[in-house]
């Protein structure tokens, strides 16, 4: 984890990794000491297991204990003595789904700071409500891990975080904080702003940017400011170096490629701008939403950009971007790594139904499953913990009543960290 | 007979057939079968009949939804076949009566500014309102509902009995029309002169009642006269026909004429041959009915019809032989507002006037005097009031909205309003308490306690949410006290009603257990 | 008065002295006539020293110099004999304490331009002749915390004030108020989101912890962190979570003002020994608010009531929170406590919620909230239990002086 909150006191969330370590330790301990492992070991037997990291196993077995997956195998896998064995004949087991772009547990009001257009240092974890009904709905639909980002009303919005969809406190849920810096292109950041024409500005909304062009200007200015800040910090022209600025520090991390930039871009021109800005400043970017990716698949491939494609089922054009049902096929054909997410579209379906939609329109089934499990886990930098069924990873898995891409299938059991969710 | 108002026709049927069974059977699965519950007895530590002094170790007998006996355990023998409910260490009160509520009121109805005096609020009630359905759990067994719009006329209030499945109508007609609501308080932001104008308009409407009543009384007489004249006219023509008959086809002619007379009044009579008086008389002999009807037609007429009659008479003298076909007298336009006000003037319905200022109280009393309204009821918070004048007029007061400690512009009013209850009681005015809101209705005992804390005596405070309310609503023969013959609405609580930590143990509505506290908690709803 | 800025304090003292002098000029003759012997002995049927600790026999209280000198059976005979005696049929209970009030000067307490103003003190806006102070005393609210409004992330410091026709400043640092409500986010400046507000708070605390920063705001925050109290005004669960997170990081005891949804955080509040100031209850309160006191009591979370009701959905109606005048009425405290009892709270806890707990929350437990020896002789005499609304308020004493309960029409 990058310590972007240098100026802050020790945060509660800082307990995240340590508790994670504790859990891993516990799991290892459990593995070493079979007597202990028996206490909470669970074995799911008889289902078709899709580990994603490997080929599907018919009649397979998944064993987990201490919140971690202990073993995956075929029907011959020995079950630990004393384990709770659950018969899943006819069911399909997949890793818990990972939604790489959500606003779960945050209200638009909480997540959009309108006091400034550029607020890189704000943390979405500060406002996640663990008790929000949206989390309950998501985990019941099989989503066990989600990226939560600041809203898209700012040109540079702040820092996103990856959380599990269950927990009493944000610290319990947190998988990784400061996963990306949210940058938004298009018309949203400028919506509501008004140009100053006469007199004195009466509200904060009399400000730049007012246009698509202005939004890019605001982002570019932010990074140039950060570069100037870096220069002043390291080589003070005269007197003292610049005072530490939390926002600038965050932008510097992005410039140094230590922090991923998540650029929301829907229309073709915005996607191209996202790639251009990334090349210009040398930061690593993931393009979010990417509605018109079908037009620029080759450019995305050339730029080695990754895509978080939002709501393939959405059929209305947002911000001038025209959706196409074959968008994902185009990305797959161009070998652009992509994840499917629900994104900011209010009409988005449950994540599994979005993928099903893509499968129905020709996306390869294995690629589709990976696009909501391992691919998003890799994009979010949490693939060492979630995204596939492998020994040692978090026991996040979904037992489906049948083929997950069959619209009539539903999750019968969902486990997060080895515990069944309600 | 209890007439429940419910969306479920089956429920309604069941309740109409067996009011005692009601729907409590559905609500309380542990309740006994109806046959046994037809007769039940309740034993409590103290019963507060309100109509009399408290009774220690009391027994209440309930049969067919009515109280049949209330008295000490050593005087009232419990029949062997009665279901006995024991509530040791508890107090029994009559079910509470909210003298001003908005229970079951749909917002659009409660704020209907277009209402006139005769618009019944009952027609817009929503029996599915959950908050109102829960009122029974708080011991509210009777509530008066009225339009609360910011307009002068608020229509007819309704009395109903909240239930878990909607509400039951009150005995008699009270459910639909329990009082005519008038708002004299008006909007606070109106200019005093404008308020004065609105007040005068009330009196002006009352002043038109006399003419309306006369017009209505006159109409039957005009109809009688019309009938007489018409039969005269009919007879004349029939007579003519019978005279002509031998010449033509009698049957055909009769049928034709009859049709014509029935349907086409624009058609002039086919022939107007001169005719002697004898002819008419002859017809009269043939039709005794017409003759008897003719007598009242000679009564003295007034106004325009008088003139018409005179003209008729003149014509008769000139050309007596052909009676003119009379026109049916135009009936007076029925006006529900005036109908309702006439019932007020006749003492059938109370006139409930919302007042907030001294001048409004004065105006209301004056209005009642001037237009001889027998049953005036004042309602409101009325910060300042001429208590003596109210007492002299013998008008009850429904206090409402005085426990709202959040109104800085009117805080002075609020502070004095608390004391008004005591002052009114001191002067001998009947004080009733109304909540004015659905949620507030739940805290009726707290409202009474608050009034008690500001000077109302404790007895009067309890009375102000039971018997006094029933009196004001005109349903004191049915509810408001624990007396034999009244509806078996009983509230059983753990201690004195006005104490803060008193818990509701059970509520009976018309003999049915509508609410019973669970063993674990005090309130399970 | 221990203000951090001596110059201001002096100025304020001067202003206060002038007014206090005027007040004294008016009050002095009456006081001299009324209490020639100095001591006052008040007897009643029952004396609640503090909630749960009461005398039912020989209930009496001896007041000397505005303080509680002796209680009940311990009153020495000579002192009792010399004192002027009053007898009531009823209960003596500690004067009510309001932990969050804006009185009649709400407009003067919303300094909204800057988001971080911890160096503002509500004491500077106190009008000792505020009608609301007289009204508070008439309803038994003897002590109250005059708090800045919730227009900023750091709204400023609340001051303890003694009610009465002439108010008296008791202490300046009741608590430092922070706001995470719509009103603080609708001020046309950063922050407009809770995300921004929490970040701003965290940065401000971090800056204050660094001793190198000696701006006034940092000084004020630093002083609060060194043994002062922090109060968060927040209503919704999400805001409560943010506030509790911040308190955890800072290692301070949480004090939540107006936390309507505290029921979902009881476990955390118990663990961190936090407490809650509840918005007043009224007849129209939803059931979940009416039952919250009983829930908090069952969980073991101390709570109190304030008179100040949140400006409900003011932002929804007008687009922004307006600096309207207070909608509070002092009687709301007793009504709220009675409603809490009606909905399952115990009488002891409910009485504590308007006496002892608010005093503790404001750090003024050694002055008010109970009638232990040495505390202010601010108490009410009620003709019955203080939590039965049917019991009339017979008398109110503020610092040993009896309050005229008649409304003189000066409070419109």
Q: Within 10 A of A126 (CB to CB), how many other CB atoms are there?
A: 29
Cβ contact, residue pair B439, C285, below 8 Å: yes
Q: Cα A103 to chain center, whole Å?
A: 10
DSSP 8-state code for residue C109:
G
Q: Which residues contact A189 (CB under 8 A, 6 or more apart)?
A: A117, A152, A153, A154, A155, A209, A215, A218
Q: Do C393 and B453 touch (CB under 8 A)?
A: yes
Distance CA C40, CA C35 (A): 8
Please indicate whether residue A307 or residue B411 has the higher confidence score (pLDDT): A307
A206 at C interface, C-beta within 8 A: no
pLDDT at C147 over 50: yes
C-alpha C299/C-alpha C408 separation (Å) is: 44
- Packing angle, helices C216-225 and C194-209, rounded to 10: 80
Distance CA(B56)–CA(B47), nearest Å, equals 6
Burial class (CB within 10 angstroms; exposed 0-12, middle 13-18, buried 19+) of C32: exposed
Alpha helices, DSSP H, located in A54-184: 108-111, 133-140, 170-173
Hey, CA dihedral for B145, B351, B447, C308, is it positive or negative? positive
Strands A92-95 and A84-87: unpaired
* CB-based contact, A149 to chain C, within 8 Å: no
C251 touches chain A (CB under 8 A): no
Listed ranges B64-68, B242-246, C260-264, C346-350; the one with the highest mean pLDDT: C346-350
Max Cα distance, chain B (Å): 100
Q: Give me the residue label for tokens 């109250």.
A: C144
CA distances from B223 to B229, B237, B331 (A): 10, 21, 9
Question: What is the least distance, in Å, from the CA of A124 to any CA of chain C?
Answer: 6
C283/B453 CB distance under 8 A: no
Rounded distance between C-alpha atoms, residue A65 and residue A80, angstroms: 10
Q: Check CB contact of A244 with chain C, cutoff 8 Å.
A: no
pLDDT of C13: 47
Which chain A positions have a beta carbon within 8 Å of C205's beta carbon?
9
* CA separation for the pair B380, C266 (Å, rounded): 41
pLDDT in tens, C87-138: 999 999 999 999 999 887 777 888 888 899 999 999 999 999 888 898 899 9
Which residue among C280, C332, C388 sits closest to B498, beta carbon to beta carbon? Answer: C388
Q: Which of residues 117-136 of C touch B (CB under 8 A)?
A: 135
Q: What are phi and psi of C410, to 5 degrees?
A: -100, 15
What percent of chain C lies above the pLDDT cut of 70?
Answer: 85
Minimal C-alpha gap between C191 and chain A (Å): 5
**What SS3 class is residue A299?**
helix
Q: Are residues C194 and A126, on separate chains, in Cβ contact within 8 Å?
A: yes
List subunits contacting chain B, requiring 3 or more Cβ pairs under 8 Å.
C
Give the CA angle between residues B9, B12, B17 to the nearest 5°.
130
Residue C295 has pLDDT above 50, yes or no: yes
Distance from CA of C55 to the nearest CA of B (A): 21
Q: For A365-395, write each residue's pLDDT tens digit.
A: 999 999 999 999 999 999 999 999 999 999 9
Between chains, do C347 and B500 touch, taking CB under 8 Å as contact?
Answer: yes
DSSP B141-170: EEEEE----SSSEEEEEEEEEEETTEEEEP
Residues contacting residue A56 through CB under 8 Å, at least 6 positions apart: A48, A49, A50
Looking at residue A243, its pLDDT comes to 75
Q: Do chains A and B touch (3 or more CB pairs under 8 A)?
A: no
C-chain residues near A200 (CB < 8 A): none
Chain B residues within 8 A of C338 when measuring between CB atoms: 446, 449, 500
Asked casually if ipTM beats, i.e. exceeds, 0.90, the reply is no
Q: Is B72 helix (H, G, I), strand (E, B) or coil?
A: strand
CB nearest C193 (choices: A114, A121, A170): A114
Identify residues of B whose CB sits under 8 angstroms from chain C CBs. 403-408, 411-412, 414-416, 435, 437, 439-440, 442-443, 446-450, 452-455, 458, 461, 498-501, 521-523
- Chain C partners of A126 at a C-beta cutoff of 8 Å? 194-195, 198-199, 202, 242, 245
Of the pLDDT bands very low, low, confident and very high (cuts 50, 70, 90), residue C73 is confident
Confidence of residue A25 (pLDDT cuts 50, 70, 90): very low
Say whether residue C151 is in contact with chain A using an 8 A CB cutoff: no
**Taking CB atoms and an 8 Å cut-off, how many pairs form between chains B and C?**
101
Cβ atoms of residues A83 and A38 within 8 Å: yes
Among C193, C248, C270, most A C-beta atoms within 10 A, so best to mutate, is C193
Q: Residue A111: its chain C contacts at CB < 8 A?
A: 193, 195
Q: Which tokens sit at B483?
A: 């007396």
- On whether any CB of chain A is under 8 Å from the CB of C206, the answer is yes
Neighbouring residues of C44: CB distance < 8 A, sequence distance ≥ 6: C59, C60, C87, C88, C89, C90, C91, C92, C381
Give the pLDDT of residue B168.
86
CB contact under 8 A, C392 and B447: no
- A10 and C199: CB-CB below 8 Å? no
Distance CA C106, CA B486 (A): 54
The DSSP-derived string for C150-185 is SSSSEEEEEEEEE-SSS-EEEEEEEEEEEE-SHHHH
Q: Is C196 in the A-facing interface, judged by CB distances under 8 Å?
A: yes
Which chain C residues are Cβ-neighbours of A114 within 8 angstroms? 192-193
Size of interface A-C (CB pairs under 8 A): 91
- Each of the 525 residues of chain B gets a pLDDT tens digit; together they read 444 444 444 443 333 333 333 333 344 444 444 444 467 899 999 999 999 999 999 999 999 899 999 999 999 988 888 889 999 999 999 999 999 998 998 888 788 888 888 888 888 888 998 889 999 999 999 999 998 888 889 999 999 999 999 888 877 766 778 888 888 876 656 788 888 888 888 999 999 999 999 998 899 999 999 999 999 999 988 888 888 765 544 444 444 444 444 444 444 444 444 444 444 444 434 444 444 444 444 444 444 455 555 555 555 555 557 788 888 888 888 899 999 999 999 999 999 998 888 888 889 999 999 999 999 999 987 666 788 899 999 999 998 876 665 444 455 555 666 678 888 899 999 999 998 888 888 899 998 998 898 889 999 999 999 999 999 999 999 999 999 999 999 999 999 999 999 999 999 999 999 999 875 444 433
Average pLDDT along chain A: 87
pTM confidence score:
0.81
Burial track C329-349 (b if 16+ CB lie within 10 A, e otherwise):
bbbbbbbbbbbbbbbbbbbbb
Interface touch C245/A110, C-beta < 8 Å:
no
- In chain C, residues with a C-beta closer than 8 Å to the C-beta of B446 are 283, 338-339, 342, 389
Q: Which residue in the set C328, C332, C389 is minimally distant from B446, CB to CB?
A: C389
């Amino acid at each position: 984890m990058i310590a972007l909150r240098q100026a802050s006191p020790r945060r509660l969330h800082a307990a995240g990794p340590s508790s994670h370590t504790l859990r891993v330790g516990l799991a290892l301990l459990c593995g070493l000491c079979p007597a202990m492992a028996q206490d909470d070991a669970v074995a799911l037997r008889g289902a078709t297991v899709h580990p994603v990291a490997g080929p599907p196993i018919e009649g397979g077995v998944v064993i987990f204990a201490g919140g971690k997956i202990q073993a995956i195998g075929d029907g011959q896998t020995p079950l630990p003595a004393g384990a709770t064995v659950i018969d899943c004949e006819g069911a399909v087991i997949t890793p818990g789904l990972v939604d790489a772009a959500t606003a779960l547990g945050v209200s638009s009001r909480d997540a959009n700071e309108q006091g400034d257009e550029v607020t890189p240092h704000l943390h979405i974890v500060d406002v996640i409500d663990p008790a929000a009904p949206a989390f309950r709905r998501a985990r019941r639909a099989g989503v066990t891990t989600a990226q939560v980002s600041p809203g898209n009303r700012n040109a540079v919005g702040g820092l996103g975080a990856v959380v599990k969809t269950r927990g009493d406190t944000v610290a319990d849920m947190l998988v990784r904080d400061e996963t990306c810096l949210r940058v938004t292109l298009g018309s949203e950041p400028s919506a509501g702003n008004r140009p100053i024409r006469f007199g004195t500005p009466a509200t904060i909304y009399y400000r730049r940017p007012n246009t698509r062009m202005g939004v890019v200007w605001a982002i570019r200015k932010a990074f140039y400011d950060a570069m100037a800040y870096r220069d002043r910090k390291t080589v003070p022209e005269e007197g003292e170096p610049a005072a530490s600025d939390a926002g600038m520090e965050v932008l510097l991390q992005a410039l140094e490629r230590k922090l991923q930039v998540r650029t929301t871009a829907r229309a073709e021109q915005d996607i191209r701008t996202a790639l251009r800005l990334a090349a210009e400043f040398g930061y690593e970017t993931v393009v979010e939403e990417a509605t018109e990716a079908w037009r620029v698949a080759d450019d995305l491939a050339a730029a080695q950009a990754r895509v978080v494609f939002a709501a393939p089922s959405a059929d209305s054009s947002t911000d001038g971007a025209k959706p196409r049902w074959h968008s994902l096929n185009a990305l797959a054909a161009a070998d652009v790594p992509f994840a499917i997410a629900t994104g900011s579209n209010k009409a988005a379906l449950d994540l599994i139904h979005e993928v099903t939609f893509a499968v129905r329109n020709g996306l390869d089934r294995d690629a589709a499953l990976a696009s909501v499990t391992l691919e998003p886990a890799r994009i979010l930098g949490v693939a060492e913990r979630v995204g596939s069924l492998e020994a040692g990873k978090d026991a996040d898995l979904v037992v489906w009543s049948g083929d997950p891409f069959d619209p009539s299938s539903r999750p019968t059991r969902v486990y997060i960290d080895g515990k069944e969710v309600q | 007979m209890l007439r429940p108002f419910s969306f479920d026709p089956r429920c309604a049927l069941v309740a109409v057939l067996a009011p005692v069974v009601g729907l409590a059977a559905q609500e309380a699965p542990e309740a006994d079968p109806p046959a046994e519950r037809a007769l039940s007895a309740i034993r409590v530590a103290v019963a507060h009949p309100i109509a009399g002094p408290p009774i220690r170790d009391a027994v209440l007998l309930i049969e067919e939804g009515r109280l049949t006996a209330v008295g000490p355990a050593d005087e009232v023998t419990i029949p062997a076949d009665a279901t006995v409910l024991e509530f040791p260490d508890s107090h029994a009160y009559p079910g509470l009566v909210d003298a001003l509520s908005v229970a079951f009121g749909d917002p659009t109805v409660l704020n209907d500014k277009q209402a006139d005096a005769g618009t019944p609020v009952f027609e817009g009630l929503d029996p599915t309102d959950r908050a109102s359905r829960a009122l029974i759990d708080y011991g509210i067994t009777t509530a008066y509902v009225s339009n609360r719009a910011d307009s002068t006329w608020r229509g007819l209030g309704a009395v109903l009995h909240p239930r878990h499945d909607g509400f039951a109508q009150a005995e008699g007609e009270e459910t639909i029309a329990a009082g005519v609501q008038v708002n004299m308080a008006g909007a606070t932001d109106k200019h005093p002169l404008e308020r004065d104008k609105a007040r005068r308009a009330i009196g002006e409407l009352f002043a038109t009642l006399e003419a309306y009543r006369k017009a209505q009384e006159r109409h039957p007489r005009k109809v009688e006269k019309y009938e007489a004249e018409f039969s005269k006219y009919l007879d004349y023509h029939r007579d003519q026909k019978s005279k002509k008959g031998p010449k033509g086809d009698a049957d055909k002619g009769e049928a034709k004429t009859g049709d014509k007379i029935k349907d086409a009044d624009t058609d002039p009579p086919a022939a107007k041959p001169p005719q002697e008086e004898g002819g008419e008389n002859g017809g009269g002999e043939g039709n005794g009915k017409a003759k008897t009807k003719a007598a009242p037609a000679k009564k003295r007429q007034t106004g325009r019809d008088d003139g018409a009659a005179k003209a008729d008479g003149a014509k008769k003298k000139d050309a007596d032989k052909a009676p003119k076909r009379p026109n049916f007298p135009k009936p007076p336009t029925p006006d529900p507002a005036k109908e309702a006000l006439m019932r007020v003037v006749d003492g059938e319905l109370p006139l409930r006037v919302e007042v907030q200022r001294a001048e409004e109280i004065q105006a209301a009393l004056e209005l009642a005097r001037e237009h001889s309204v027998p049953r005036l009821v004042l309602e409101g918070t009325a910060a300042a009031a001429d208590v003596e004048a109210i007492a002299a007029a013998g008008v009850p007061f429904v206090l409402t909205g005085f426990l709202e400690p959040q109104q800085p512009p009117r805080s002075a009013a609020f502070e004095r309003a608390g004391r008004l209850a005591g002052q009114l009681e001191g002067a001998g005015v009947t004080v009733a308490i109304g909540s004015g809101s659905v949620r507030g209705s739940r805290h009726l005992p707290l409202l009474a306690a608050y009034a008690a804390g500001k000077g109302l005596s404790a007895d009067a405070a309890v009375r102000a949410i039971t018997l006094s309310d029933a009196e004001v609503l005109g349903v004191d023969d049915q509810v408001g006290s624990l007396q034999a013959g009244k509806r078996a609405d009983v509230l059983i609580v753990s201690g004195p009603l006005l104490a803060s930590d008193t818990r509701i143990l059970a509520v009976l509505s018309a003999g049915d257990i509508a609410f019973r506290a669970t063993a674990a908690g005090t309130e399970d709803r | 008065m221990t203000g951090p800025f001596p110059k201001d304090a002096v100025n304020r003292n001067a202003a206060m002295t002038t007014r206090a002098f005027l007040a004294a000029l008016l009050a002095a003759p009456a006081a001299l006539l009324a209490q020639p012997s100095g001591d006052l002995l008040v007897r009643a049927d029952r004396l609640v020293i503090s909630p749960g600790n009461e005398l039912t026999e020989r209930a009496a209280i001896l007041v000397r110099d505005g303080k509680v000198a002796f209680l009940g059976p311990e009153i020495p005979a000579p002192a009792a004999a010399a004192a002027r005696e009053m007898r009531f049929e009823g209960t003596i209970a500690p004067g009510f304490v309001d932990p969050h009030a804006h009185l009649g000067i709400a407009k003067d307490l919303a300094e909204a331009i800057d988001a971080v103003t911890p160096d503002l003190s509500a004491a500077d806006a106190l009008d000792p002749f505020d009608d609301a102070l007289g009204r508070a005393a008439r309803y038994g609210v003897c002590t109250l915390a005059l708090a800045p409004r919730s227009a900023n992330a750091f709204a400023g410091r609340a001051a303890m004030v003694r009610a009465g026709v002439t108010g008296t400043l008791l202490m300046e640092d009741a608590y430092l108020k922070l706001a995470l409500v719509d009103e603080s986010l609708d001020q046309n400046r950063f922050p407009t989101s809770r995300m921004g507000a929490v970040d701003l708070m965290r940065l401000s605390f971090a800056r204050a912890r660094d001793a190198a920063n000696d701006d006034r705001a940092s000084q004020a925050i630093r002083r609060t962190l060194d043994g002062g109290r922090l109060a968060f005004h927040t209503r919704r669960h999400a805001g409560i979570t943010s506030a509790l997170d911040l308190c955890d990081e800072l290692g301070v005891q949480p004090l939540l003002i107006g936390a309507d949804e505290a029921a979902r955080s009881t476990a955390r509040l118990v663990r961190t020994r936090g407490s809650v100031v509840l918005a007043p209850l009224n007849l129209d309160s939803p059931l979940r608010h009416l039952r919250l006191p009983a829930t908090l009591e069952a969980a073991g979370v101390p709570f109190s009531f304030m008179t100040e009701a949140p400006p409900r959905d003011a932002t929804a109606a007008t687009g922004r929170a307006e600096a309207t005048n207070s909608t509070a009425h002092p009687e709301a405290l007793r009504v709220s406590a009675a409603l809490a009892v009606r909905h399952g709270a115990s009488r002891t806890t409910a009485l504590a919620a308007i006496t002892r707990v608010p005093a503790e929350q404001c750090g003024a437990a050694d002055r008010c909230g109970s009638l232990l020896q040495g505390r202010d002789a601010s108490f009410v005499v009620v003709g019955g239990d203080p939590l039965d609304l049917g019991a009339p308020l017979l008398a109110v004493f503020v610092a040993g002086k009896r309050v005229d309960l008649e409304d003189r029409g000066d409070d419109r």
